[in-house]
Structure 1
Amino acid sequence: MRIGVDARKLRDGGIGTYIRNLLTVFVMRPGGNEYVVFLLEDDLGSFAHPGSTAEEIRVQARKYSVAEHWHLARAARRAQVDLYHSPHYTLPLPLQCPAVVTVHDLIHVRFSRFFPAGAGIYARTIAGAAVRKARIVLVDSTHVRDDVQEMLGVSPDRVRVVPLGIAKEFSRRSTADTERFLKERSLPSAYILYVGARKKHKNLALLIDALERLPRPERLPLVLSGPPWRLGHPLAQRAQRAGVLSCIHFAGVLRNEEELALLYSGAALYVQPSLDEGFGLPPLEAMACGTPVLASSAGALKETLGDAAVLLPPSEPEVWSEAIVDLLRDSLRREGLIRKGIARSRAFTWDRTAELTMAAYREALQVV
């Protein structure tokens, strides 16, 4: 089977993690298949190497552009792929071969008020066209399965739940390595951690409000992944009004999963207050690194994290501040969550994701 994969979002957060890990497993274990990977110029060389079954093809079309439909359809036709997989919710309209599309979430549709005007309509239109064209629709969770059926009208018999995986790099790091990393990054020795985007649906305002309510002696610093925000940023202004601006630190850009594992390992507690998630990779990665997790019960988080995390409604900062204090004080409960979290994270592997995805590929080629 000759499989084409659109990998232009290789550097785009969670979708990039999905593409990178899925293709790595496929290329390492080809099973007689060939892979044609469509990439932006800067990412050429990511998968093709001597002895590899991957062929890389450069495409110039911008992501979510009108031109991408024609550029990618033409590239797939010229490459003579048997099947085309889009790892995000868009498919080239003129595509002629069978296709599979992955929908990670419909947050742009469900929370359109958080995005620029028209973004929700655009997302519904593009995702709707993609799921109608695809023979099989992959989703990360039953939560997203229900959303695509409800919002996009996809028939249940065409939807397959394929959970994401946790890379082997995510494990508890030694105290010495962690302390060295934190010192290099000028980070505190004990902190509460959040990893991910700072979009409105991530609900970081709740963390700021909860931080304000923590008793001063137990107000651990909050560390956010990524670069510092500008002082005019709405979250910075909220933190300044709450009197907690000096309590918030930034880890800077993380270059690889090793550095991310070190950041997780140094945290006293990981927090995920999202209003919606299609899966929830960061809290699961934190669990794999032996960090207890406090998360919202919204979206797929309850499904992904199970009883290995403390789950709370995403709208009550008083409840969050109380839960943070309780977890920091109760070492026995923390140890119990750590044990459960490590066991939970081990149930999610990229090998399993690849296995279920390959089954969907084969099924798509059999559908007539």
Structure 2
Amino acid sequence: MKQSRRLITLSHSYVVGLNRRLANEMMRVGAGAWDVTTVAPRFFHGDLSPLALQLEADEPARTEGVRAFFSRSLHTFLYGPEVHAHLARGADLVHVWEEPYVLAGLELALLTPRHVPLVFSTAQNLSKRYPPPFAQAERFVVQRASGWVAWGETVRDNLLTRPGYAERPARAIPMGVDADLFQPDRAAGESLRRELGWETSGPPVVGFLGRFVPEKGVPLLMDALDALDTPWRALFVGGGPMEGALRDWAARHTHSVRVLTGVPHAGVPRALNAMDMLCAPSQTTRQWREQFGRMLAEGFACGVPVLGSDSGEVPRTMGDAGIVLPEASVSAWTQAIANLLESPQRREELATRGRERAVTRFSWPVVAKAHLDFFTEVLEQRG
């Protein structure tokens, strides 16, 4: 019987159980062919609060906790000596879900035995010049790697123009979505509408999911809604610096607008099902453009029609399952929203296409298989 290949996958993101879904799904999909071990920090300073590693009893992949140092900075944190022991035990391939220009990415590339293929994942879709030592870290990691995974086609296209990347095998793979957790459930959505004080028979609900910041297009969406003649309601779900301005605006639309903050990830499907369409008017800046748009895939999976801007990866994520609009055109957004508000048939058509795209392209088994297929190609190319 052929022995399973041993995969070690490391990431600071794995401190959160939801982010270990990739590793766990690779274990499920690769059962018998791959044996997956996840290495994660036991503690990490998150963006909003400290995070402690918590394991679930039914996780198929083994997770090993290690110390992380200086974790208040994603660019300079390090895993420390414990991780060396895990990498020295032997693996057929090491997968590093850390950017190649951060110190942790450099550390793991240095500690992975030279004879073991290393593949890193990256979401950098803007070409940037890094100061020392980050530029040197990126150069070393790319040279050391046997391949790299781009979290999106625009990421791949951007990095292929940088030194060294084109010399290594690469694969563009999207982020995953739990198509079982995120699925159409209109009863749950109607229940939330009632809790919000809305009649279920009122005007369609225009939705927003994400950070309340200008680059996510919150001001544009407010302007587009203000310009509508067609009756509407709007549900904003998320949080961020613009919450105060958003609530002030909502106060002028007492009966039409609701703002929900502090919604846990498990509660997002219910919120999405309370929407008749989801708007993602992301705005490109000098330092940022949309990398994937997880909310798009989650909206698709819940059977919610999706409108997205032409920023970054959004058009690639949307494909022909949603409506892509110019990111800076308030009038285009107003017209597109009005068209959907007035056409239940068009909304139903987009809902069906979106759900199909979520299941066939973004569901975790599909994403996990794409990773394992690429890892297999890397191993076969090395002989």
Q: Is the pair's TM-score, using the shorter chain for normalization, greater than 0.5?
A: yes
1:252 aligns with 2:268: no
CA deviation vs aligned residue, 1:326-354 (integer Å, no higher than 9, x gap): 11012222222222222222222221211
Identity of aligned residues (%): 21
Q: Which residue of 1 aligns with 2:320?
A: 307
Structure 2 counterpart of 1:27, which letter? Answer: M
Question: Which residue in 2 is equivalent to 1:338?
Answer: 351
CA shift digits 1:26-51 (9 cap, x unpaired)? 2334325333222232554436659x
Q: Which residue matches 1:60?
A: 68
Cα deviations by residue, 1:255-303 (Å, 9 ceiling, x for unpaired): 344x222111110110111233333331222122121111112322222
The 2-side partners of 1:354 and 1:21 are apart by 9
1:215-244 C-alpha deviation (Å, 9 max, x unpaired): 3x62422x23234x5xxx457448858985
Could you tell me whether the CA contact under 8 Å between 1:145 and 1:161 is conserved in 2? yes
Structure 1: which 5+ runs fail to align?
A: 113-117
Q: By how many angstroms is 1:124 displaced?
A: 6.6
The 1:174–1:334 alpha-carbon spacing in structure 2 relative to 1, beyond 3 Å, is closer
Distance 2:143 2:333 in 1: 41
Q: Deviations over 1:107-134 (max 9, x none)?
A: 5x57x9xxxxx8x999877655543432
In structure 2, the partner of 1:224 is 236
* More helix as a share of residues: 1
1:136, distance to aligned residue in structure 2 (A):
0.9
Tell me the equivalent position of 1:158.
169
**Secondary structure in 1 matching 2:207:** strand
Please name the residue that 1:134 is paired with.
145
For the residues of structure 2 that align with 1:60 and 1:329, how far apart are their CA atoms? Answer: 53
Q: 1:360 to 1:173 in 2, by over 3 A?
A: same
Give the alignment partner of residue 77 of structure 1, picking from 78, 87, 94.
Answer: 87
User: Cα RMSD between the aligned structures?
Assistant: 3.4
Alpha-carbon offset, residue 313 of structure 1? 0.6
**Pair 1:206 & 2:207 matched:** no
| Matched AA of 1:38 | V
Q: Greater strand percent: which structure?
A: 2
Residues 333/67 of structure 1: CA separation in 2 closer, same or farther (3 Å cut)? closer
SS of alignment partner, residue 181 of structure 2 = coil
Instruction: Please report how far the alpha carbon of residue 55 of structure 1 lies from its aligned counterpart in structure 2 after TM superposition.
Output: 4.0
| Structure 1 match to 2:207 | 193
By how many angstroms is 1:75 displaced? 4.6
Counterpart in 2 of 1:262? 270
SS at match of 2:215: helix
1:102 equivalent to 2:112? Answer: no
The answer (yes or no) to whether the contact 1:212–1:243 under 8 Å persists in 2 is: no
User: For structure 1, which segment, 282-291 or 195-204, has the greater mean C-alpha deviation from structure 2 after superposition?
Assistant: 195-204
Map 1:4-19 → 2, pairs under 5 A: 4-10=8-14, 19=19
Residues 319 and 88 (structure 1), Cα distance of their counterparts in 2 relative to 1, 3 Å cut: same
Q: Is the 8 A contact 1:73 1:92 kept in 2?
A: no
Q: Deviations over 1:150-176 (max 9, x none)?
A: 24651165211223333122211042x
CA distance in 2, matches of 1:152, 1:106: 15
Query: Match of 1:28?
Result: 28
Contact 1:4 1:38 in 2 (8 A): yes
Return 259-268 or 178-187, whichever deviates more.
Answer: 178-187
Q: Describe the shift of the 1:307–1:33 C-alpha distance in structure 2 as closer, same or farther (beyond 3 A).
A: closer
Residues in 1 aligned to 2:252 and 2:134: alpha-carbon distance in whole angstroms? 36
* CA gap 1:336/1:53 in 2 versus in 1, 3 angstroms: closer
Gaps of 5+ in 2: 43-50
2:368 and 2:237 map into 1 onto residues whose CA distance is 28
How many angstroms apart in 2 are the aligned matches of 1:64 and 1:182?
A: 39
TM-score, normalised relative to structure 1: 0.79
CA 1:48–1:23 in structure 2 vs 1: closer, same or farther (change >3 Å)?
A: farther
Q: Distance in 1 between matches of 2:377 and 2:37?
A: 19
